[in-house]
């Protein structure tokens, strides 16, 4: 488990000084920086780093046309975005069950967890029902992968999002970026929760 010091979570405070870089398994351009002074990893995507304005998006969260717009939560809630590659895949399903166990803790901190994949809304609705989750699963299907591309996490050759968790704070800024070591790994939501508390 990663222990995240309060008060400097997600790059708030002193300027960040990168000590080294490594790519995230070559799947897409995500760089992870190791900060030996703080002892926890901070990352950036191909298009975003901590402190940047988060790109706004409006995505379907049901086949009936209900939409989720990021900017609706500005000034109200942090939004925890989990980009995942594919509905019904074993790892993604296990990740959503892990998130399900943490969802009330996020809500207690005033944070809104959402999941984004490039699947269509009908597939996502069936997946959501099968898993019994009640948080939004958003469809980045049309235009395909547009939001994942804006956030720098789209694997262009496969047409899916990489597995990355991004926290957008109440001011609409990127507060935390957490890729997994491998696309088949499930993210550790404890440091993400610590960021949401911050």
Query: What is 112-156 written as a DSSP string?
Result: EEEEEESS-HHHHHHHHHHHT--S-EEE-TTTTTHHHHHTT-EET
- The average pLDDT across 138-144 equals 97
Q: What percent of the chain has pLDDT over 70?
A: 78
The answer as to whether 1 is a domain residue is no
Q: What letters, b where the CB count within 10 A reaches 16 and e where it falls short, cover 56-74?
A: ebebbbbeeeeebebeebb
The answer as to whether 27 is a domain residue is yes
**pLDDT value, residue 154:** 97
Confidence of residue 12 (pLDDT cuts 50, 70, 90): very low
- The average pLDDT across 188-198 equals 85
Q: Give the range of the structural domain holding residue 27, as residue numbers without chain letter.
A: 9-197
Q: The pTM is what?
A: 0.81
Q: Known catalytic residue: 92?
A: yes
The answer as to whether 187 is a domain residue is yes
What pLDDT, in 10s, does the model give residues 75-116? 999 999 999 999 999 999 999 999 999 999 999 999 999 999
Active-site annotation holder among 28, 92, 118, 195: 92
Task: Give CA–CA dist 42/127, Å, rounded.
Answer: 31
The answer as to whether 3 is a domain residue is no
- The average pLDDT across 131-152 equals 97
The answer as to whether 65 is a domain residue is yes
Task: Give CA–CA dist 197/105, Å, rounded.
Answer: 10
Regarding predicted confidence, which is higher, 33 or 169?
A: 169
What is the domain-level CATH number for residue 92?
3.40.30.10
Number of domains observed in the structure of the chain? 1
The answer as to whether 52 is a domain residue is yes
Regarding predicted confidence, which is higher, 79 or 194?
A: 79
> Helix or strand or coil: residue 102?
helix
Cα dihedral sign for 124, 75, 163, 188? negative
The answer as to whether 19 is a domain residue is yes
Confidence of residue 167 (pLDDT cuts 50, 70, 90): very high
CA proximity to 20, closest of 9, 8, 7, 34: 34
The answer as to whether 172 is a domain residue is yes
């Amino acid at each position: 488990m990663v222990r995240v010091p309060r008060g400097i979570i997600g790059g708030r405070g002193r300027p960040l000084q990168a000590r080294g870089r490594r790519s995230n398994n070559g799947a897409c351009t995500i760089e992870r920086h190791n900060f030996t002074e703080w002892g926890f990893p901070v990352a950036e995507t191909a298009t975003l780093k901590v402190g940047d304005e988060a790109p706004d998006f409006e995505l379907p969260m049901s086949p009936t046309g209900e939409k989720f717009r990021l900017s609706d939560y500005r000034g109200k809630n942090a939004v925890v975005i989990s980009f995942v590659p594919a509905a019904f895949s074993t790892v993604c399903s296990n990740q959503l069950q892990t998130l399900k166990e943490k969802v009330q803790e996020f809500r207690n901190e005033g944070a809104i967890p959402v999941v984004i994949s490039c699947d269509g809304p009908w597939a996502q609705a069936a997946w959501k029902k099968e898993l019994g989750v009640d948080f939004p699963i958003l469809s980045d299907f049309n235009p395909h992968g547009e939001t994942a591309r804006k956030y720098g996490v789209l694997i262009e050759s496969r047409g899916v999002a990489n597995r990355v968790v991004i926290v957008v704070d109440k001011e609409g800024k990127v507060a935390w970026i957490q890729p997994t070591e491998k696309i088949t790994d499930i993210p550790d939501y404890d440091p993400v929760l610590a960021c949401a508390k911050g």
